[in-house]
Every structure is written in structure tokens, then in C-alpha cells.
Amino acid sequence: MAEMEERSVDGATNEMIEKATQDGVLTVFDRAENMRPCPIGAEGSCCKLCSMGPCRLPAPRRREETPEEKDNRRGVCGATIETIAARNFVRMVAAGTSAHSDHARTVVEAFIQAAKGEGSDFGILDEQKLLQVALDFGIEIAGRTSREIALELGEEALKEFGKPDGTLKFLERAPLRRQQVWEEQNSKPRAIDREVVECLHRTVMGVDLDYKHLFQQASRTALADGWGGSMLATELQDIMLGTPVPTTGKVNLGVLRHDAVNIVVHGHEPLLPEMLVVASQDKELRAAAAANGATGGINLSGICCSANEVLMRHGVPLAGNMLQQELAVVSGAVEAMVVDVQCIMQSLPKVADCYHTEVMTVSHKAKLPGAIHIEMDDAAPLAAAKEIVRRAIDNYPNRAQSKVNIPDHSVDLVAGFSHETIGYLLGGLFRASYKPLNENIINGRIRGVAGVVGCTNARVKHEDIHTQLVRELVKNDVLVIQTGCAAMACAKIGLMTPEAAHLHAGPGLAEVCETVGIPPVLHMGSCVDNSRILMAATAMVKEGGLGDDLSDLPVAGAAPEWMAEKAIAIGQYFVASGVYTVFGVTWPTVGSPEVTDWLMDEISESYGGKWAFEPDPIKMAKLMIDHIDEKRKALGLDEARERVLFDMEMRRDLDAV
Amino acid sequence: MAEKTAQKAQRTVGEETYEPGVPDGPQNWRHKLRDRDEMLRYLETGERYWFSDEWYGSEKRRTPA
Ligand code: SF4
């Protein structure tokens, strides 16, 4: 039991791991313990790009490599370790970018259908944002209906994936200085698909063999994710489904209910989850649930970013993050686990075999042996959603009470902090502004801003690094913005309620949060919504007083428990946007000290941003805070903060008298 | 934990200046934008960093876009 408790800092997770063991079910936590990571692959020193390999080229252990050894560390084809490490990294960026951007393509296609109004379950919910994005795309809005504008916008958005000329439209949203940097580095993405394809081509055996040149393409591709695919997904989803506004919710496996049909939606795209919200409120279906004995009706909750999407727009509770997907099934209380794309464990049907849960796939892109496939129409998923809910209701009587154990853990949170909502909360409807944020950074109450995002990873204690890091940051007056599974980790320890300011934040940050009525840790949404962070940071630059570029801001980013290729793509677009970005757990190029040094130092000469790797959360916080302080100093703000802290000290002394 | 308690005990500013607890339901401020005129006006105010000529913050000092 003591050993079990060490797997997570979250009580619900530990309880369910123990239950899985008792039920004879293997989970990701067992598999991670039973199989150690390959040390050669982990450091990026394995190449399997051609059939003369795989070539395994590990660095010498516990000693410096001699120059001769380094020169001889080559694959059969002659590729150096630098080329091999860089190619592996670039392919991760390409894969991550393709995931966010293929999600975006699905959204754009559904958006076009919604604009046409033909057989679509969706419409235009946020007309203001439609006008805004249409103007970004140079689309005429005067005298045209929303549908006409939306149709042209959808068609133009679709061209962003494969247009033959020009560069991506949303790059023009970035600060002017940043656009200039991209121009100088030849890193402005052209079309999204083109950049991914070029990554794959350039990393084929015997093409681009200069690692610095390979990273130029990695940056261009990653920027096609952040300022392209991810931003398109966020913006068009907002137009179709609504821009997030402050919304309350709950998080953790305790949101599952004994008296209700529990449907858990897991994955990333919000289209089906939106319609599951509608279907779960359908009168007939609720009556059917009651008739089957579910007096509490239909209870929808979510895992991963599907959950974040419907939390942000509807307050649908979060059952948990990526590592908790199997554990939701282990509760014995889930009638249906519905999955679409990304971060889905193939073990789900095997876990479900021990209970009554039906695992259902819905995307034409992703099937899973052992699951029931109910293919949805991306533009009109309500029919599939209703069928899923019906099946779940039918499955409710199969729940074996003897196998049910819903952990008694759930915590309140406030979500919905789109960049628009932050501006509104800071300034009001027609005075929406980032001025109060900048002013409080300038006067030193807020030291800086940190984006803490990304996955959870079974190679480290679940949520431990996230929670320690974010606690340390807010204690030091750093405002934290979050997305993805990272956000859920911190919500679970109560950091996403307004009270958290008083309980956890340093005095300056607490004062600002309490005045505005916001938590010290802001939930900005799903992983594609990291594009909201880019927009918020751009608003800070454009507001003024904090430099001319994203790289001037006292901000830092982190993915403390990352695991997916998508995280590498996100990290690379933040670095290429000028942000200092720290990753934990492991670093995929350590097999090449030269490449690693370049990514963690020299790359900043080109982009202003750079990478860092630090597995210890307190040291990670220190790196981020030191960077923030360095930027404050460069802006001449270091004295302002000392003055504020001195005032605080004096006020405390006076208070104590 | 001891550190956190100590910090809380030292706090002197801002206490109870906010409403404890979480709000009921979404605060849908975007519904306040009732018609296209208001939406376009909001672009020049709320989204002025991107849509107003007068507002470029730090960038104002640089060559305009
Ligand atoms: S491409 Fe070169 S390094 Fe890679 S597997 Fe083939 S021979 Fe080995």
C-alpha cells in the first residue's frame, strides 16, 4: 500500500490503482513498472530510418566522450549522432503538429458544413468572433450575413493547410518584432501540410544532414502548429461552439455518480462531446435512464482535452487526466467510455473486460480492437451521440454493485479563461484590457507569468511535478496559466478557485487576484488552446511597457510531466516564439550533447527563446523565476519589485505592532 | 506546509476584498454584445491591440505595421 501511494499525489488515483490490483487489472502504472524505457531510444541515439539499421549509438556512460569517439559515433550511412538526434526530434515536431492540425482540419470542415447549414448540428454561436477572424483573413463583412461570411472564412481557413503561395494568416497577429524575427530566420510557415511533409522529407535517409538547418524546419513546422493548426482549431471552435467565459466545474473521479448513467468522453476533438452534452439532456433519454433505475439521470464527464473543451463551454465535470483513463473504468461505475483521437490507451477494452463498461470509438480516423465503433458524422454528430447515450442507458443494469467503488474525491474549480475573458475581467466590456496585468507586473506585485501545460507521465509520480512547480510559482508571485492535463492536476489541489489566491499565492499576486476575483492559476482550456496563451502574451506586448517582443516579456513556459510528441511541437513553437521553455521527466536529445547545448543555449540567438531540461520541480521553478527576474531586469523593473516587497515587509511589521 | 501556514499568517493585504466561493453558472459576458454595431465597436476597444490604429502599445514607438 505504501508503495501504491507513491504512484500519484492524488488520492483518487492511488485508491483506484489499489482497486485495480485487487481486481486483477493491469494499468499503465503496472506496465511502466514492469518495463523500463530503452536507454538508447530515450536519449535519441537510435535511428531506424532505413533497413541498414536500426543503428544504436549510445553515448559513453559516466565519462566524457573523446573527439575521436564522437566523430566515429555514426550510423551505417555515415549520419552523425547530431543528425540522428535532430532527425528524431524533428519527426516528433512533425507528428505533434499533424495531430493538432488534423484536429483543426476536422473542425474547419465541420465549420463549412455549419456555414452552409446543410445537415449540420452546429451553427454560428459567437458572431463577434466570426467578424474578428474574418477580418484577420481579409474577408469582406459589410452587408453580408453571418453564414456568408462564415462560408468564405471556412473556405479560406481550409486553404491554410495546402495553399501554394504566401504564409499563414495568423502570423500577422504576432507582435511586429516577432514577425521580423521569423522573417530573418526564414521560419514563417507556408501551408501547414507542406511544413509537415517537408519535415518528413528532410529527415528521410540522406536528405538534410545539417542539424541546425533541420531545426529551422522544426521551428517553421511548430509555428505552423501554434500560429496555424492549433489557433485555427481554437478560433473556429469558438465561433461554432462559443468563446469560453468564466464557468464553474468539478474535477476528479469523484464526479462519477452512483445513481446515474456515467458516460465518460475521452480524447481531443470537441464536436462529439458537444453533442453528448445535448443528448444527455434529451428528455426521452433521461426518461429512459430513469426507467432503467438511474434516478440521477445521465452524468457526462470527461478525460483529457475532450473534457477541457466541454468544461470550458458547459461546466461538464472533469473525471481526470490522461493517466486516469483506465482508472475511471476501474471504478466499476462507467457505462460508456467514448473515445475519439489522441492519448487513448489501447488497453482500455482489456480493462473494460473486467467490468461492464463499453468502450466506444467514434472517429473515422481511429479504431480500437475490442471497442464498439459508432462512427460519427463530424458535422452532425448528434445521431451518434444519441446512440451512445442509448447504449449506455441499456448498459446501466449490467453494473455490478460489488465492483463499484467511486473515490470520494472531487474539487471545485473555475475555468473559461480565454484571452478575451481575461481582458474582460481586467477591464470590462468596452474597456477590455491587459493594462492592469502589465501595470501590476511593472509595479512588481506580479513578478511574471508562467504557462504550465502538457501531459502526465507514468515514468514519474503522477501530478507531483505539476503541483509542486505551480505551488512554488504562485508562492513567488508568478501568475500561472494552464491548459491540458496539467490544468487538471492543479485544479485537483484547489489552485483554480478564487480562494486559492489567499491560501497559496504570494502577497502581491494574492492582492491582484483578490481585487479582480480570479484564481492565481487560470485554466485556459485544451492543448490546442495553447494558442490562447500566444494571444494573451501578444496582448501583453501590444499593451506596452513590457518590451517590443514576446521574448522581452517576463514570462516562461513548462511541460513538467510531458510524454507526447505533441508536447515537443508545442514547446518548439513557444521557443520559436521567443519563450524560455522548461521540460521535465526526460529530454529526447541527451544522446547528443552538441544538439542539446544548441537547443538550450545557442538557439536563443536566433529566436530569443530557448529550451531547458530539469526534472526537479523546485529547481524547475527556480529556473523559470530566474529567467523572469532576468527579463524584469532587462526591462528595468527589478527595482520596482524590490520596492513593493519592502512595502509589504513594512506593512507586515506595522501589522504586527 | 509549515511554510504555507507561515505565509498565510503574515498576510496583511487584500483579505476579504473578494467574494469567497465559486459563481453559479457561466458568466456569459459575450451575450452583452447584442448587434453587429456593438460587435464591431468591441473590436476597436476590447480587441484594440489588433483592430485599432491608435493602440499599438510598445509597438507604437516602432515603425507602424
Ligand atoms: S538512416 Fe543511417 S543511421 Fe538511420 S538506420 Fe539507416 S543507416 Fe542507420
Whole-number Cα distances in Å, A293 to A259, A336, A358, A399: 8, 16, 18, 11
Whole-number Cα distances in Å, A629 to A221, A512, A623, A625, A638: 30, 19, 10, 6, 7
Ligand 1 nearest atom to the CA of residue A75, by list position: 3
Q: pLDDT tens-digit profile of B10-55?
A: 333 333 344 444 455 667 888 888 888 888 888 888 888 888 776 5
Listed in sequence order, the residues at least 6 apart from A125 whose beta carbon sits closer than 8 Å to its beta carbon are A239, A240, A241, A242
- Alpha carbon distance A635, A171 (integer Å): 25
Q: Count other C-beta atoms under 10 Å from residue A152's C-beta.
A: 18
Task: Determine which residue's CA is closest to atom 5 belonging to ligand 1.
Answer: A53
Q: Count other C-beta atoms under 10 Å from residue A648's C-beta.
A: 20
Closest alpha carbon within chain A to B58: A544
- Does residue A644 belong to any structural domain of this protein? no
Q: Count other C-beta atoms under 10 Å from residue A257's C-beta.
A: 18
**Ligand 1 centre from A53 Cα, in Å?**
5
Same domain, A570 and A512: yes
What residues of A are in contact with residue B46 (Cβ under 8 Å)? 420, 423-424, 427, 429-432
Q: Mutating which of A180, A248, A504 best tests the B interface, going by the most B Cβ atoms within 10 A?
A: A248
| Whether A305 contacts A232, CB under 8 Å | no
* Res A655: pLDDT: 53
- Does residue A247 belong to any structural domain of this protein? no
Same domain, A362 and A481: no
Overall pTM surpassing 0.80 (yes/no): yes
Tell me, what CATH number does A591's domain have?
Answer: 3.40.50.2030
| Whether A281 contacts A315, CB under 8 Å | no
Residue A338: alpha-carbon gap to chain centroid: 20
Rounded to the nearest angstrom, the minimum Cα separation between B19 and chain A is: 7
Q: What total number of domains does chain A contain? A: 3
Ligand 1 cavity residues, CB under 6 Å? A 47-50, 52-55, 75-77, 79, 84, 205
Nearest to B45 among A315, A432, A651 (CB): A432
- Alpha carbon distance A539, B59 (integer Å): 11
Same domain, A121 and A219: yes
* Residue entry with cell 487538471: A488
- Does residue A196 belong to any structural domain of this protein? yes
**Ligand 1 centre from A216 Cα, in Å?**
22
What residues of A are in contact with residue B23 (Cβ under 8 Å)? 246, 248, 414
pLDDT for B7 beyond 50? no
Q: Which of A372, A403, A434 is the last residue of a domain?
A: A403
- Alpha carbon distance A163, A224 (integer Å): 13
Same domain, A306 and A349: yes
- Alpha carbon distance A263, A236 (integer Å): 26
* Res A647: pLDDT: 66
Same domain, A313 and A370: yes
- Does residue A54 belong to any structural domain of this protein? no
Rounded to the nearest 5 percent, the helix, strand and coil shares of chain A are: 55, 10, 35
Q: Which of A190, A207, A241 is the last residue of a domain?
A: A241
Q: Which of A215, A241, A267 is the last residue of a domain?
A: A241
* Res B19: pLDDT: 46
Same domain, A334 and A209: no
Whether A131 sits inside 8 A of B39 (CB atoms) is yes
- Alpha carbon distance A463, A467 (integer Å): 6
Q: State the residue range of the domain holding A315.
A: 253-403
- Does residue A69 belong to any structural domain of this protein? no
- Does residue A324 belong to any structural domain of this protein? yes
Ligand 1 nearest atom to the CA of residue A54, by list position: 5
The secondary element (H helix, E strand) that includes residue A302 is strand A298-303
Ligand 1 nearest atom to the CA of residue A76, by list position: 7
In 3D space, the residue among B32, B11, B42 whose CA is nearest the CA of residue A131 turns out to be: B42
- Alpha carbon distance A389, A261 (integer Å): 9
**Ligand 1 centre from A78 Cα, in Å?**
8
Q: Mutating which of A429, A445, A467, A647 best tests the B interface, going by the most B Cβ atoms within 10 A?
A: A429
Same domain, A457 and A354: no
- Does residue A578 belong to any structural domain of this protein? yes
Q: A523 — phi, psi (to 5°)?
A: -85, 115
Same domain, A351 and A467: no
- Does residue A39 belong to any structural domain of this protein? no
**Ligand 1 centre from A72 Cα, in Å?**
14
Same domain, A266 and A346: yes
Per-block average pLDDT, block size 10, for chain A (657 residues)? Answer: 68 96 96 93 94 93 89 95 97 97 96 92 94 94 94 97 96 94 96 97 96 97 97 96 92 96 95 94 95 95 92 92 97 97 96 97 95 93 96 97 96 93 88 90 96 95 96 97 95 95 95 93 94 95 92 97 96 97 96 95 96 97 97 90 65 55
Same domain, A535 and A568: yes
- Alpha carbon distance A509, A500 (integer Å): 11
pLDDT for B3 beyond 80? no
The three three-digit cell numbers of residue A233, written as one number: 482549431
Same domain, A477 and A564: yes
Same domain, A484 and A563: yes
Ligand 1 nearest atom to the CA of residue A74, by list position: 3
Tell me, what CATH number does A95's domain have?
Answer: 1.20.1270.30
* Res A368: pLDDT: 95
The ipTM value here is: 0.80
Whether B27 sits inside 8 A of A246 (CB atoms) is yes
